Amino acid sequence: MKETTVLEAIREALAEEMERDRTVFMIGEDIGQFGGALGQTKGLFEKFGDERILDTPISEAAIVGAAVGASMLGMRPIADIMFTDFSTLAMDQIINQAAKARFMSGGKVSVPVVIKMQSGAGRGKAAQHSQSFEAIYSHIPGLKVVMPSTPYDAKGLFKSAIRDNDPVVYMEHGSLYGIKGQIPEEDYTIPIGVGDIKREGKDISIITYSYMVHKALAAAKTLEADGIDVEIVDLRTLRPMDTDIIIESVKKTHRVVVLHEACVTGGIGGEIVAKIAENAFDYIDAPIKRVGVPDVPIPYAKSLEDTIVPNEEKLITCIKEVLEGI
């Protein structure tokens, strides 16, 4: 094992997959000699050249469109979208082309493309650079949606996404990039659609994913002093979602808080609650609560952003309310 950051783990996965398979390439803005606006391709242009690390004009529609077309012809492209907010400019290519090609061709055309994007708030980037669109993409049949929380998960899931024969939306929270963790020296993958218990507990389950896993872990540690034992379920993949891991945790703890950074209305939390209601209703001993962002755009001012984005204090309050039956 070795210690690395989420950003380094993602970059390492990309380099290894490009070495393993010559059909893998990345296309996006400023990913060549500049090394990526976020450092995501640092050193890769020099290693693989401009035919496999392709710089593009500022056009998300062109980036995704070219990647989808190349994937239909046997390549395995990664379309790099700097911020998830900008993916709205490529909605037709993602939703109407990539997601539907296999179905509309009767299975004759596969689309092994990864649409990689940074998501999330908490860094003062304001309303057009801080959104969480995972519920939008999870709603679309034909797409797989991955959101890792640790270096281990980030690398293993990115490799699985690249090797997958269907389109995968790979969303990484910008606040995760510097988080460190252990990863194996040898090659490994993590199956898409399999969640993970990040912390065993018996009193209440927190169902979450991405950066919010770390908020949940911090809250669980604080609540230990009050004798509250919190279980944390990291979904890792939102489509397909690991329903079994959710239900098994609910059967053990009988109480649930769903945590995500997206707006509460229409968020993935509603789908999680529905799965629990459909599959484990008899095991619930208290109302399920959701913690998310109020239905407002993300503010630029740090004081306002801190007010609306879920944090440890808000989560602890919600957990205690569920345990008290409020």
Is 139 a residue of the active site?
A: no
- Helix or strand or coil: residue 290? strand
Residues in the chain: 326
In this structure, the strands spanning 114-119 and 168-173 are parallel
User: What distance in Å separates the CA atoms of residue 228 and residue 244, rounded to the nearest whole number?
Assistant: 24
* ∠ CA 286-289-295, rounded to 5°: 160
Q: Which of 129, 173, 214, 260 is catalytic?
A: 129
C-beta separation of 233 from 276 below 8 A: no
Which positions ≥6 away from 253 have C-beta within 8 Å?
201, 202, 203, 204, 205, 231
For residue 231, how many C-alpha atoms fall within 13 Å in the half-sphere facing its CB? Answer: 23
C-beta separation of 195 from 224 below 8 A: no
Catalytic residues: 129
